[in-house]
Amino acid sequence: MFSGYRFLWMQVIFDLPVTKRRQRKAATKFRQHLLDLGFEMAQFSVYQKWLVGKEAAERMVKRIRLKLPDDGRINILVFTDKQYENIITFHGKVHGEKKQNPQQFELF
């Protein structure tokens, strides 16, 4: 049985310095790494990905850790699909559409 508590969302929130050329390059490489891992950009410094299970989240943290830039602050939040469904989004003064969760895979 599928449960909204088994499926997880991971958000990577970061504030990276970009005043020097090498810092901008490192920030760009980090963003690209997140995209390569299957994250989508929610906001400029907020990326998110849907995962199945705590073990997948732990593996993903290890993969992110491999490419951390030397400077800046990076926070990783993990929360259940049930919690994610309560997020309220605004686009300016307009209430945004509720984000649809990824479709479940069908097994044979």
Task: Write down the domain spans for the chain.
Answer: 7-90
What is residue 96's predicted lDDT score, i.e. its pLDDT? 64
Q: Give the pLDDT confidence of 32-87 residue by residue, as tens digits.
A: 999 999 999 999 999 999 999 999 999 999 999 999 999 999 999 999 988 988 88
Rounded CA-CA distance 6/2 in Å is 7
What is residue 108's predicted lDDT score, i.e. its pLDDT? 42
SS3 content of the chain, % helix, strand, coil (to 5): 30, 30, 40
> What is the CATH code for 7-90?
3.30.70.240
What is the strand order of the sheet 46-52 is part of? 40-43, 46-52, 7-15, 73-80
